[in-house]
Chains A and B, each alone.
Chain A
Amino acid sequence: MRSIPADAVIKAVEDMCIHANRYLPQDVRDCLERSSASETSPAAREVFRQIRENYELAEKSGLPLCQDCGLAVLLVDVGDDVHVEGMNLREAINEGVRRGYDKGLLRKSACDPFTRVNTKDNTPAIIHFDMVPGDKIHIRFMAKGGGSENMSRVTMLTPAQGWPGIRNFVLNLVAEAGPNPCPPTIIGIGIGGTFDYAPVLAKKALLRKLGDVNPDPRLDAMEKELLADINRLGIGPMGLGGVTTSLDVKIAVAPCHIASLPLAVNIQCHSARHEEVIL
C-alpha cells in the first residue's frame, strides 16, 4: 500500500485554500468574457467591468476575490491502496484549511449555529469522502460563499412531476432568488438518490468546467434548455437586468427510490472559486 505523509496533505490543502481565493479559474473568466459581450445595458456592462477588474486585482495583489471566503467544502476521493501517515486524513484536511485561512488572510466564516460564536479558524471543513480504486488521493476544494448557498434548495418531487416539475422548480427558484445570490450564477442540479444525496450530486456538478459538454446527451440537452430558459428571466448580472442571469447549468443524476424524485439545486455565485489536486 502506498503511503503519503500527512504533511503533504496539509500543505496541498493550505495552498488550494489560498490560491483558489485569489485566482478565478480560467473557464469562469472565459465564460464571463463571452457573456459580457452580449450585454447592452450600461448597468450590466458596469457589473461585468467591475468583476473583471476585481479578478485581475485579486490575482495581482493577493487580496481575496471576495470578502466571503466561504466555508471550505472538500470532495475527497481516496484510493483503496493509499494510506496517510502520521495523521487521520480528516484531521490533516482540517489542519490545511486552518493554515490556509490564517496565512492567506482569508475570512473565517464558520460559527456555532445557535450562539453564532465564530470557530475562528474556518474549521470544521465540510468534507465528502468517497472510496475509489487506485493509490491516489484526489482532493477538490471549493470556497463556498453563504449568499448563494442560502438561495439553494432541496425538494422531494413525485415521480409523476418528472422533468416538467424539475424545470418549474429550478426556474421558480432562480426567479425568486433574483439578485440575492450574486448573478450571473452557476446552477448545480442533483436529481435522484435520496434526500441527503441529491445535494451532494448538485455540489459535485458545480465542479465541472463551464461550457463543457455533459457526456449524457439527454442531460446535456436538459442543461442547455434550462440555461436558455433561466436567461430569458432577464434578471441579469446582480439583478440589474440583462441576458446573463446564469453562466451555466450542470446536472448530475443517480438512481432513486421508486416512490421518489429527489431534486437539489445548489446555486453558485459568479465568483466560482475551486481547485483540485491529486496526491
Chain B
Amino acid sequence: MARYNLRCPLSDEDARMLRAGDVVFLSGTIYTARDAAHKRLCDMLDRGDPLPFDCKGAVIYYVGPTPAPEGQAVGAAGPTTSYRMDSYAPRLYSLGCKASIGKGKRSEAVRQSLEEYGGVYFGATGGAGALLSMCIEAAKVIAFDDLGPEAVRELTVRNFPVLVINDAHGGNFYVTPDRKAAGLE
C-alpha cells in the first residue's frame, strides 16, 4: 500500500494509478456536495444547465460543515455517509469527476462507474471533523447558498488525509464481515 501527495483537480493518470488501501494526501481545490446539493446538480443536468463547477478531474467531498469560527475557513468538516449519494454519483463520474470523499459502502453501480470512467472513492475518518477542518485553508460558497450547511462550497485543502476505498480496477478496501466467526452461519 503506497502513500501519495496529489494535486486536485485530479488527472486521469493519478486516479488510475491509485489502488485500494493507498493513503493519499490531497492538496488543491475540491468541492462539497451532499444530499440536497446532489439533487439540485442532477436537476441542472436534466435541464441542460451548466454545473457551478468544472467536472473535469473534480473531487467531490460529501460534507456539511459547521459554521466557521472567526479566523477559520470552516468549522468541523468530516465526511458524511456516502451511500445516500449513490443514485447521483455515476452521473458525475461519467462527466469527468475523478473522485468522491465520504465514508461507508458504495453501491455496485457506483463501483462499476469507477471502473468505467477511471474514478476512485476515498474514505476519510468519520467523526474526526475538528481534525480534518485543519486541512481546509479556504472555503467559498459557489452555489445553493440557501441550503446552508448543504450549499456547494469550493474548498482549498492542504494535505487532506484520505484512504482509497474503491479504485478504478475493482479493488475494495472494506473488509467483508466474518459472519461465521460471529456464529451467524
Contacts and interface: CB of A to CB of B under 8 A. Distances in A.
Contact of B182 (A106, A171, A240): A171
Contacts of A69: 66
A47 B175 CA distance: 15
A220 B161 CA distance: 40
Nearest to B83: A180
Given A50-B125, A180-B83, A168 B184 contact: yes
A63 B130 contact: yes
A118 B177 CA distance: 36
A236 B175 contact: yes
Given A105-B66, A232-B181, A240 B128 contact: no
A240 B174 contact: yes
B66 A58 contact: no
A120 interface: yes
Contacts of A66: 76, 78, 126-130
Contact of A54 (B64, B128, B175): B128
A107 B66 contact: yes
B53 interface: no
Given A116-B36, A180-B81, A240-B175, A65 B130 contact: yes
A178 B130 contact: no
Contacts of A75: none
Interface in A35-71: 43, 47, 50-51, 53-54, 57-58, 61-69
Interface string A180-198: 1110000000000000000
B16 interface: no
Contacts of B69: 62-63, 105
A67 B67 CA distance: 9
Given A58-B130, A235-B175, A179 B103 contact: yes
A234 B174 CA distance: 11
B104 interface: yes
Contact of B183 (A57, A58, A64, A229): A229
B77 interface: yes
Nearest to A241: B175
Interface residues of B, number: 46
B179 interface: yes
B83 A271 contact: no
Contacts of B126: 66, 147, 182, 238, 269
B163 interface: yes
Q: How large is the interface on A (under 10, 10 to 19, 20 to 34, 35 or more residues)?
A: 35 or more
Given A175-B184, A179-B103, A67 B66 contact: yes
A50 B63 CA distance: 18
Interface in B66-93: 66-69, 75-78, 80-81, 83
B15 to A, nearest CB: 21
Contacts of B134: 57
B109 interface: no
B75 A116 contact: no
B66 to A, nearest CB: 4
Q: Which of B81, B103, B174 is the most central at the interface, judged by chain A CB atoms within 10 Å of its CB?
A: B81
Nearest to A43: B163
A62 B129 CA distance: 12
Nearest to A145: B127
Contacts of A178: 104-105, 174, 177
30 contacts: A43-B163, A50-B125, A50-B128, A50-B161, A57-B130, A61-B130, A63-B66, A64-B66, A66-B127, A67-B129, A68-B80, A106-B67, A109-B149, A118-B149, A146-B80, A146-B81, A147-B104, A147-B126, A150-B81, A168-B184, A178-B105, A182-B103, A229-B182, A232-B181, A233-B182, A238-B125, A239-B175, A241-B175, A270-B127, A271-B127
Interface of B: 21, 35-36, 63-69, 75-78, 80-81, 83, 103-105, 123, 125-131, 133-134, 147-150, 161, 163, 173-175, 177-179, 181-184
Given A66-B127, A180-B105, 12 more contacts: A53-B131, A57-B130, A65-B76, A67-B77, A107-B75, A168-B184, A174-B177, A175-B177, A180-B104, A182-B127, A236-B175, A269-B126
Which 3 pairs across A and B sit closest by C-beta, in order of nearness? A180-B104, A182-B126, A175-B177
